[in-house]
Amino acid sequence: MEKSLIILGSTGSIGTQSLTVARQNGWRVTGLAAGSNVDLIEQQVREFKPLKVALFSEEAARDLKARIADTDTAVLSGISGVCEVAESEGDLVLNAIVGIAGLRPTVAALKAGKQFALANKETLVTGGSLVMGLAREKGIKILPVDSEHSAIFQSLQGAPENSLKKILLTASGGPFYSKTREELGSVTVEQALKHPNWSMGAKITIDSATLMNKGLEVIEAVHLFGVKADDIEVLVHRQSILHSAVELVDGAVIGQLGTPDMKVPIQYALTYPERANVAYERLSLADIGTLTFAKPDTETFKCLRVCIDAINRGGLVPAAANGANEEAVRLFLDRKISFLQIGDLVEAAAANQKAAHNYTIEDVFEADRAAREFVISHFGG
Ligand code: NDP
Ligand code: MG
């Protein structure tokens, strides 16, 4: 299969795994973008020889430009540079930027009519109805990279329209499964960064520990699959083998299983509707033995409940919850707030946001800014 790819967030956990998949399949990479990691993106430029590369940081972009002056790759900078890469020559854009920073590049790629694979769930959490509307207008199917959404998407292949009854969204439960609020009071950054099953970037690893990640994924699923939050059942499944499932109107439950390896959903998004004859680690159910399922504890892990409330209220509330979370996670990683304060701040900032349906992209950024400011002015007490 001939394919040329543009990878946004190429230096991150998903970005580097996407480049591994591109290498394995022999695909061309025509564009790369990241935040500020000059060393790694220089190596990537030398290996993949893209036409364009962008770094969000102006200073890092200047450095990169000097370092790769001997190559034919054009260097761009700032958010406009990242968006220009998203619109540039190439068949498919994969957005693996972390946070709301991915929203404008998503819009740029869709406006340019690109095939589009999405890891950056914050795009849909913050700008969901705008982004889905734009994709519909352009006739673009958003291909999910997030493992659960990929599993749902895979499980729905062949299901007739209107046959989806319910989504079973699985969650590993994170490193603090079954802990009480009291026990969570004293957890450290190091403990929160140790995920039992997945190796991921720092922000999503903390989101997995608070269950914010599952809340963001409920919102992501509402937009991607056109369902209500009430039609999504979150199930704690400690082994991360069933990546999610769907229940159809006739009661049949169809799911996708596999080892916890993001290269599988990344590759499917990049080959859809085909399947690549390239496999990574194979699943042995006999070795796994037991799969378990339980209800999540949304009293202790309040972020999940806050996100469900946020999507039920709709409008700009999810953007506020997301912005507050991005800021609170940064403060936690900087050791300025405790683990439990993340959920408290996200809850308070979301409650402070008016729903305001019919919003514009500028309204989304304003809600994000206001929520961050709310967190900064309230975290001290
Ligand atoms: P990482 O933190 O590992 O990587 C983030 C990437 O985004 C880096 O390339 C970073 O560049 C880049 N970046 C950050 N800010 C900007 C910016 N302003 N402009 C351009 N690029 C920027 O994150 P992950 O790979 O873990 O996650 C990426 C996304 O995928 C997230 O939305 C996450 O929720 C989602 N996801 C991740 C999974 C995983 O297994 N990791 C699983 C499912 C979803 P630099 O390195 O230069 O800072
Ligand atoms: Mg996921």
- CATH number, domain with residue 200: 1.10.1740.10
Does ligand 1 come within 6 angstroms of the Cβ of 198?
Answer: yes
Question: Residue 77 belongs to a domain with what CATH number?
Answer: 3.40.50.720
Pocket lining: 122 vs ligand 1, CB cutoff 6 Å: yes
Q: Closest Cα to atom 31, ligand 1: which residue?
A: 98
* Residue 341 within any structural domain of the chain: yes
Alpha-carbon distance of 352 to 257, in angstroms, equals 40
Residue 16 CB less than 6 A away from ligand 1: no
* Nearest to 203, CA basis, from 318, 105, 339, 325: 325
Q: What range defines the domain where residue 205 resides?
A: 179-210+297-381
Q: Are residues 199 and 343 in the same domain?
A: yes
CA of 268 to the centre of ligand 1 (A): 19
Residue 146: inside a domain: no
1 C-alpha to center of ligand 2: Å?
Answer: 27
| 314 lies in the same domain as 190 | yes
74 in a structural domain: yes
Cα 80 to ligand 2 centroid, rounded to whole Å:
28
| Residues 328-351, mean pLDDT to the nearest whole number | 98
Complete DSSP assignment for 259-279: -S-THHHHHHHHHTTS--S--
Task: Quote the CA–CA distance of 81 and 248 in Å, as a whole number.
Answer: 44
Total residue length of the chain: 381
Q: Two tokens at 34?
A: 């990241």
- 206 and 99 inside one domain: no
Q: Is there a domain that residue 115 lies in? A: yes
Tens of pLDDT, residue by residue over 306-315, are 999 999 999 9
Ligand nearest to the CA of 79: 1
Distance CA 360, CA 130 (A): 8
Pick the ligand that lies closest to the CA of residue 147.
Answer: 2
User: How many whole angstroms separate alpha carbon 176 and alpha carbon 207?
Assistant: 12
Question: How many domains, in total, are found in the chain?
Answer: 2
Single out the residue in 93, 124, 140 at which a domain terminates: 140
Give domain status of residue 168, yes or no: no
Q: Work out the average pLDDT over 79-87.
A: 98
pLDDT at 103 over 80: yes
The label of the residue with tokens 């967030």 reads 9
In a domain, 40, yes or no: yes
Decide if pLDDT at 130 tops 70. yes
* Domain match, 83 and 195 both: no
Compute the distance from residue 146 Cα to the ligand 2 centre, in Å.
5
Ligand 1 site-directed mutation target among 7, 13, 217, most atoms within 8 Å of CB: 13
Nearest bound ligand to CA 12? Answer: 1
Give yes or no for residue 11 CB within 6 A of ligand 1.
Answer: yes
15 and 118 share a domain? Answer: yes
- φ, ψ of residue 278 in degrees (nearest 5): -135, 115
* Per-residue confidence band for 50, with pLDDT thresholds at 50, 70 and 90: very high
CA of 102 to the centre of ligand 1 (A): 9
Is the model's pLDDT at 381 over the cut of 80?
no
In a domain, 240, yes or no: no
Residue 210 pLDDT level (bands cut at 50, 70, 90): very high
| pLDDT computed for residue 357 by the predictor | 86
On whether residue 376 sits in a domain, the answer given is yes
